Amino acid sequence: MIDIKLLRDDPERVRKSQRARGEDDTLVDQILELDQEVRALRTHVESTEAEQNRISKEVGRLVGMAKRADKGGDLEAAQRFMAESKAMRDQNHHGPRALGEARGQLALAQEQFAKEMRRIGNVIVDGVPTGGEEDFELRQTVGTPRDFAAEGIDVKDHVELGTALGIIDLERGAKVAGSRFYYLKGDGARLEYALMGLCQQIAAEEGFVPLVVPNLVKGQTMAGAGFLDSHADEVYQLPADELYLTGTSEVGLAGYHLDEIIDLSDGPLRYTATSTCYRREAGSHGKDTKGIFRVHQFQKTEMFVYCRPEDAEAEHDNLLRIERRILDALELPYRIIDVAAGDLGGPAARKFDCEAWVPSQERYRELTSTSNCTTFQARRLGIRERDPQGSGTRVVATLNGTMATNTRPIVALLENHQQADGSVRVPDALRPWLGGREALTASGR
């Protein structure tokens, strides 16, 4: 959720952000009108409450005087005081019923205001490209795709390679769970462990604190992280338990300091987690139906940072550096793109994707991404710090970055490192987790 102060003070900046995202910029004026309505109703309720308190005290005073006059035998005075208190009650046009109605109107207006505020995506950072999925800006290309034709190799896709090596079983995955499910077997499973192990090793070297996070979370946490807005149809829900299956450990990491005041005096708090993730892949009908690139269940190692808002851009660059470190270790050709505003998703103010070359498709595909969510998530989740410039508290910034999933890097590894004899070369960085193996072969040796 964006800061209402920003919307009040600089509505054109929010309108510009909405237009860049391809969203409705008239929503800004609708929210400002609702904000005025809420503030007017709140003022009315508060003034009515104050008037009610004044009248109640005055009536109480008159009734008390009437009782004392009655005890003193001054019946005429007692009757006069009681008549005055009754007249005051009769003339009270803002009685309990009117106050109740005003409070009800305020509650409805506040509910509508909050609903509309959640429709506004995070205000993008200056420099983010305008447009949709294809309107990204290329920041850098790293490495050169192999010339398989020059090597005399007919390129095989990851399904053919994985099946021949006996490490991917799609048929049994579909039989047991349906489409977009799979088994990783033998070296396939070891390759997953190797990827996650490499990520956790690098995360430890980079000073990230490892966490084991819940894969099931409450609606408050899922909504706070920004996954129940425009992408709610991607989320698996368990209505009987009022819980949601997370599609990334980002959700559990974002909720770790829910409703807390955290200490950032020694610098950002950096966490990492490896977890099983679940996505419905709604709206992806016909996309990547072959193989394990786009699946419903996968392992993922995620980085997450809490920092001061002024440090967010530097932390974003640091997360990208770490992601590049992993891709370099996997010896994959890749490119870095600055994602266009219309493809950011609600919480992100800026996102960088790292896309690896997939030889069988002859194009780059997303392997990792890192997002600067500024104060958007933390505001929803009530995560603050003591304001270093004064008294009180302020909302912190959050950022996230994918180190690796299990499936997409396996796709890229198998295809980019395939050999003429059907084996797949193992990058040096993964060999310690694979018993020092230099190649994956059908014999498993």
Beta bridge mates, 353:
337, 369
Dist. CA 424–CA 169, nearest whole Å: 17
Active site residue 21: no
Active site residue 384: no
The token duo for 268 is 């950002």
Dist. CA 352–CA 340, nearest whole Å: 9
Of the candidates 408, 415, 423, 437, the residue annotated as catalytic is: 408
Of the candidates 42, 294, 386, 394, the residue annotated as catalytic is: 294
Dist. CA 59–CA 75, nearest whole Å: 18
Active site residue 294: yes
What are the CA-CA distances from residue 194 to residues 301, 322, 415 (Å)? Answer: 12, 17, 17
Answer positive or negative: Cα dihedral of 83, 84, 85, 91.
Answer: positive
Of the candidates 17, 85, 275, 369, the residue annotated as catalytic is: 369
Dist. CA 80–CA 69, nearest whole Å: 10
Task: Find tokens 């912190």 and name the residue.
Answer: 396
Quickly list DSSP for 264-331.
-TTS-EEEEEEEEEE---TT-TTSS-SSSSS-SEEEEEEEEEEE-GGGHHHHHHHHHHHHHHHHHHTT
Active site residue 139: no
Of the candidates 366, 394, 425, 431, the residue annotated as catalytic is: 366
Task: Centre a 10 Å sphere on the Cβ of residue 53 and count the other Cβ atoms it contains.
Answer: 10
Of the candidates 15, 180, 190, 279, the residue annotated as catalytic is: 279
The token duo for 66 is 């009437």
Answer positive or negative: Cα dihedral of 227, 230, 235, 241.
Answer: positive
Longest dimension (CA), the chain: 119
Active site residue 15: no
Dist. CA 331–CA 52, nearest whole Å: 73
What positions carry a catalytic annotation? 279, 294, 366, 369, 408
